[in-house]
Amino acid sequence: MNNQVQEKIIKGHKTGGIVLFLTIVAYIAAGPVLGMCASAGLWPISVLCGLYLGLGWIFWLGLKVLKPNEALVLTLFGKYVGTLKGDGFFFVNPFCTAFNPAAGTKLGQSGDVAMNNTNLVTLTTGGTTVSADAYNKKISLKVMTLSNSRQKVNDVLGNPVEVAVAVMWRVRDTAKAVFEVDNFKEYLSLQVDTAVRNVVKLYPYDTTENVDTTGDGIADDGSLRGSTEVVVNRIKDEIQSKVVDAGLEIVDARITYLAYAPEIAAAMLQRQQASAVVDARKLIVDGAVGMVELALERLSEKNTVELDEERKAAMVSNLLVVLCGNHDAQPVVNSGSLY
């Protein structure tokens, strides 16, 4: 962006306690002084005392209290004058006003969910009910957690997948956050949704052959389920590239929900079960073949019994049936000759 507003930190204004004390003392003294000067005919001083009694409260408008990790962006008649940061009791120009277009915006993020705020106060102005938080212009510099609603996205194979992502973020540049975008909270939420869609559609849900997820033209084994760290880092980087001009920093990102969409979940479950059965059968067969080979080798080494090719084939068949069967074998005792 061109002509970006540069953040200016206001320092040396932690004099709120002194100003408050002096204004209160002046109020206490203004009444008696007004009476004495009026009796003595000192009208200029009397007028000044009267004006102070009527307008002295204006100085209190310049008193600002900030807690740790809070900031206040101040403007004077529309011009940006600076940002207060750090905890303390400040005094600034009483005509400065705080500016935060995202005040009162409620998203699914920590410290910003109206339904979980048991102390929420509402005010009625002109028939419209608004949250008292809308009048709190302070900007939190803490690490916030944004958890948008689940999205249905098609993966690289076209299968609908539901995914939800939690993003940890903070405001780094207060001037950019309030002046470069209309509402930095809504802007971040939109960029998160867009980044999730752009990245998820590049990966299959599960490991699939002949799929290139990195863009290098070589098939790999990347997947949403198996390459979670790679996927979330890619989502994080894409979000960061979009919100850097808004003065925001993406600290971390995590996938909080990942599943096939309900309309294909049952079919995909059957597919996974069938694949698991096939893999299990392969393992059983490999083990059974190894056991049969071992049995034949041991019989041959010990000269326990001599078997011709036909009897070996029958033995192999019987052992494979026993070892690969789904049920326990029922023994049959042969009391006659083997041949």
pLDDT tens for each residue of 185-218: 999 999 999 999 999 989 888 877 778 787 777 8
* 324 pLDDT above the threshold of 50: yes
pLDDT given for residue 125 in this prediction: 39
* Higher-scoring residue by pLDDT: 325, 29: 29
For residues 251 and 283, state if they share a domain: no
Whether residue 74 lies inside any domain: the answer is yes
> Ranked by mean pLDDT, which of 60-64, 102-106, 284-288, 301-305 comes out on top?
60-64
Whether residue 108 lies inside any domain: the answer is no
* Higher-scoring residue by pLDDT: 1, 173: 173
Number of domains comprising the chain:
3
What CA–CA distances, in Å, run from 270 to 233, 266, 267, 277? 31, 6, 5, 10
Separation CA 138–CA 84 (nearest Å): 10
pLDDT given for residue 170 in this prediction: 94
Q: Which band of pLDDT confidence, cut at 50, 70 and 90, is reported for residue 301? A: confident
pLDDT given for residue 271 in this prediction: 64
* 71 pLDDT above the threshold of 90: yes
Whether residue 115 lies inside any domain: the answer is no
pLDDT given for residue 118 in this prediction: 41
* 113 pLDDT above the threshold of 50: no
For residues 166 and 206, state if they share a domain: yes
Q: In this structure, what CATH number is given to the domain that contains residue 203? A: 3.30.479.30
* Higher-scoring residue by pLDDT: 24, 339: 24
* Higher-scoring residue by pLDDT: 82, 292: 82
pLDDT given for residue 112 in this prediction: 56
For residues 245 and 301, state if they share a domain: no
For residues 219 and 178, state if they share a domain: yes
Whether residue 7 lies inside any domain: the answer is no
Q: Which domain does 247 fall in, by range? A: 141-260
Separation CA 61–CA 72 (nearest Å): 14
Domain boundary among 99, 115, 149: 99
Q: Which band of pLDDT confidence, cut at 50, 70 and 90, is reported for residue 110? A: low
* 101 pLDDT above the threshold of 50: yes
Q: Using the structure block, give the residue that is written with the tokens 């539901």.
A: 162
Whether residue 287 lies inside any domain: the answer is yes
Mean local confidence (pLDDT), 50-71: 88
Ranges 36-40, 70-74, 136-140, 196-200: which has the least confidence: 36-40
> Ranked by mean pLDDT, which of 21-30, 89-98, 310-319, 326-335 comes out on top?
89-98
Whether residue 339 lies inside any domain: the answer is no
Phi, psi dihedrals of residue 121, rounded to the nearest 5° = -115, 135
Whether residue 157 lies inside any domain: the answer is yes
Mean local confidence (pLDDT), 307-324: 72
Query: pTM of the prediction?
Result: 0.70
For residues 250 and 279, state if they share a domain: no
Whether residue 292 lies inside any domain: the answer is yes
For residues 52 and 153, state if they share a domain: no
DSSP string, 306-324: ---HHHHHHHHHHHHHHHH
For residues 248 and 294, state if they share a domain: no
For residues 256 and 145, state if they share a domain: yes
pLDDT given for residue 116 in this prediction: 42
Q: Helix, strand, or coil here: 257? A: strand
For residues 303 and 194, state if they share a domain: no
Separation CA 18–CA 123 (nearest Å): 32
Q: Using the structure block, give the residue that is written with the tokens 């590239």.
A: 241
For residues 47 and 158, state if they share a domain: no
Domain boundary among 260, 281, 313: 260
